[in-house]
A and B are shown apart, each in its own frame.
Chain A
Amino acid sequence: MRAYRLRTLLLPTLGVAYVLIAQTAPQEIFPFFKWNLFSSVPVTAQRVHVKIHQIDGEELSPFDLVKDRATLRQRGFSVPYSMYSVRTLNMLGACLERSPASHWCRNIRADFERTFLTKVRSTSYRVIRLRYDPLELLRHGKYRERIKLASLHFERQP
């Protein structure tokens, strides 16, 4: 009888504990989740773009590191497109904006170059933050704001 009673308390206990842990944790603790998917309307959005304008000494018309996949493949880049790579770009943008000279930012930059620039000896690139209205961007191709965060040069160490 005791085991049965304990089971009847399982749902309320588990439910309350789940909601409390999921909602109050400052960061997501796997496997608890807030389930707040699409709960707010993204009227404005932003993303970080990397424009490459020089590879191995050759000047190019700038192309986008994630978006222009055809050019990337022609140039021999592997495009590790995943949420991890998008997050790496966002983190690169965030650190260049806040503290570009910090140790934290150097690590993120190294991680970015290790992930994306695997097949080039040297390259110059610009990091840009774009702010946009998602519907406006799709309908008219317009960004609301472009902020150049940094112009950087990558040279592979021998």
Chain B
Amino acid sequence: MLLRRLRRWIGERPLAGTQIFERQRTDYGRAITSIKTFYLLTVLIPAAYWQGLLELVESGIPEPLWPVRFVLTLARPEIVTNVFLFAGVGAFLWILCAPGSRWARVSSFAGNLLVVSLLYSRGKIYHTLHAMLWMQFVFIFLPVWKGDGSTLRRRDRQSVLVTFATAQGLLLLFYSMSGVAKVFDGVYHLIHGGLGSFSPLAMAYQIAYHLTSQYHTPTLPQTFAMNQPLLGYPVYLITIYVQATALLVVAKPSLHRVWGTALILFHVGTKLFMGIFFLENTLILGVLLVNSPFLRDRPWRERLRELPVLGLLRFGR
């Protein structure tokens, strides 16, 4: 009850009685398709890191993370790691054949946890695969189904939708945490002085710092962004807004596609200007938000009114 009130307060609209069941059926079908697509991605992406993983294990693991720490205690860690990698592939194939099986989902999560832990055991934890790992964790809580899931009861179908929305919420929470940290920094420096996230030079400094700390030579777009900071300034501010308010969008289905697309563009921009790319996140954003099962078509003016925080400005009648 409290949760429903919170969702309504954020902006979710109530539906008439007959509409609810109709909508649940269509949303459920789309959610199942998105979940299957998501698990397809979980198979493809660790496969891309395969060679790197094997090289890492052969050259030694400098700082093993807790899930793989025991590997180092073994006499022949490379053999055990290979066994785990093959077991991981088995789990991935299993989940593709039976996404409705909870054990398959648990195995898939455990397999990915091992792969990601190994990848991040080189003395620095990267974060490109975190979102995927957490989505896999949330999907463990999906109800169990057989076949294409068409025989599930209404309550279980609703459970699928709730769990899917949880995954969307958690993904958006990560972006909100990042955005809110920038807002705090910006406000702090507006009050106390100095260069903060709201400064026109903020983006130029981020690019310059990244280039110098990694010993890279600037590319043409990077040079342009550093020399013409005012041109990139509005985009930088919009990015902070999109990130900071991302979590609020979970209760606004008509904005799922807009926010998903905006966050993908943010990742493309980060690649272009800083050389950092969260490929996995862009794919997950595509599956969970751009292709959200809860998508609603609304006129643009109505969507503007639904914009988090800015919607309070009341765009038109």
Pair A135/B206 contact, Cβ less than 8 Å: no
Query: What are the 10 A-B residue pairs with the smallest beta carbon separation, nearest first?
Result: A134-B208, A39-B181, A84-B123, A83-B124, A42-B209, A35-B177, A11-B166, A134-B209, A36-B181, A35-B178
Question: Which residues of A are found within 8 Å of B286, using beta-carbon distances?
Answer: none
Contact with B along A42-75 (1 / 0, CB 8 A): 1101010000000000000000001100000000
Q: How far is the CB of A3 from chain B (nearest CB, A)?
A: 7
Pair B173/A7 contact, Cβ less than 8 Å: no
Q: How far is the CB of A116 from chain B (nearest CB, A)?
A: 14
* B interface residues, how many (CB within 8 angstroms): 59
* A interface residues, how many (CB within 8 angstroms): 44
Pair A138/B226 contact, Cβ less than 8 Å: yes
The dominant DSSP class at the B interface is helix
11 contacts between A and B (CB under 8 A): A7-B141, A7-B159, A30-B125, A31-B133, A33-B125, A39-B182, A41-B189, A41-B197, A42-B206, A135-B201, A137-B212
Pair B201/A138 contact, Cβ less than 8 Å: no
Residues of B170-185 contacting chain A, CB below 8 A: 170, 173-175, 177-178, 181-182, 184-185
How far is it, in angstroms, between the C-alpha of A92 and the C-alpha of B245 when the chains are bound?
Answer: 41
Pair A39/B211 contact, Cβ less than 8 Å: no
Residue ranges of A at the interface with B (Cβ–Cβ < 8 Å): 1, 3-4, 7-12, 14-15, 18-19, 22, 28, 30-31, 33-43, 45, 47, 66-67, 82-84, 86-88, 132, 134-135, 137-139
Pair B182/A134 contact, Cβ less than 8 Å: no
Question: Which residues of B are found within 8 Å of A132, using beta-carbon distances?
Answer: 212
Pair B125/A14 contact, Cβ less than 8 Å: no
Pair B3/A38 contact, Cβ less than 8 Å: no
